[in-house]
Amino acid sequence: MTDAVSLIQRKRDGGTLTDAEIRWLFTAYADDEVADEQMSALLMAIFFQGMDTAELRTWTAAMIDSGDRLDLSPVTRPTVDKHSTGGVGDKVSLILAPLVAACGAAVPQLSGRGLGHTGGTLDKLDAIPGFTSALSPERTIQILQEAGAVIAAAGSGLAPADRRLYALRDVTGTVESIPLIASSIMSKKIAEGTESLVLDVKVGTGAFMKSYDKARQLAQTMVTLGREHGVRTAALLTRMDQPLGNAVGNAVEVEESVQALQGNGPPDLMRVTYALAERMLALAGINADPREKIASGAAYEAYRAMIRAQGGDPEARLRQAPHTKVITAATTGWLASLDALGVGVAAWRLGAGRARKEDPVSAAAGIICLAKPGDKLTRGEPVLELRADDERRFAAAEQALDQAIVIEADQPPPPPDPVIELIEG
């Protein structure tokens, strides 16, 4: 007879759980036969003891089977998605989904909202008048057929066990567990029904994973999980020590994404976008040049089609913040670093992010990077422009930036390639 206490004790002591035991656990938890405090204790045991490959595979499968799967079989194009672990200024999805669609794929991107210093794709798109991310499965498939790309909120029916487990992890200090992170992300992505998936695993001060070794382990774990569940999966490790692109916020990132789709994107943003697009197209079996789709205007037209299909007005003027403040260089020299975490926290304090999931966010608040690492600055020259709905927010934002801007007398080496490594198997 299986019982929760025995499973907790075994995992606590470094043992493994069988497939049948894991399946029983999820069924019993859904039926409230296993209490939240018991599941919390098991999550803590997993946090310290980890899971082996077989356990993690079955754990993820049980999370998927706790809800529905999106059936994308009516979609005639090859389906491929991308997931980012989150960063500062990471508006790649807004560019990438229509870009890959313009190349001939269907991109069913189920995204989320931001929390803390990392922005959420849906919060950015909410800045567009009329845009809706709450779509039925039928409407999602219809938009995929019509526009080739959709960016929507994951429905409550996809991997519902993940929401319950994440809520427990959030209040028990067990979020930072690689097996639990990997199963959380991949259960939703596999349930989404895509044939192929590329993961953008951020590493650096502004990323969830600060160290290369842990980021690589997470990427490898997720690639393995995807392939074990029949999804062609690859991952890129990308740097998140400085903001990606020049804009950090919601409306400001939409504006920068449109500029990128029109051929005027910052080099670091486009380097990451093209690397992800090329890998997505390779997994989908499509031979196309994403740079040509930007140059021809096809990617921008795909963006406009996607926004219109989801009720938005791609021509609408986005809301502008009524208050701005410029942060200038304290000395003359070279901008050696612009800390992504500091900039992200500052944007959050300006109103662009939220501390709790239910908090509202400002569409107009954010930061524009007027200089990037490697630039020569003179004393008093603008480095950042802060934007807010309430000027009383500037003081707290400036505190977050206190150590974020580093200017040195000697010219630093060129910024490293933002794309670190490709992981395919």
Q: Which residues are catalytic?
A: 83, 162, 169, 184, 188
- Of 303, 318, 315, 386, nearest to 347 (Cα)? 386
Q: Nearest 5°: CA angle at 364, between 362 and 366? A: 90
According to DSSP, the residues that pair with 327 across neighbouring strands are 384
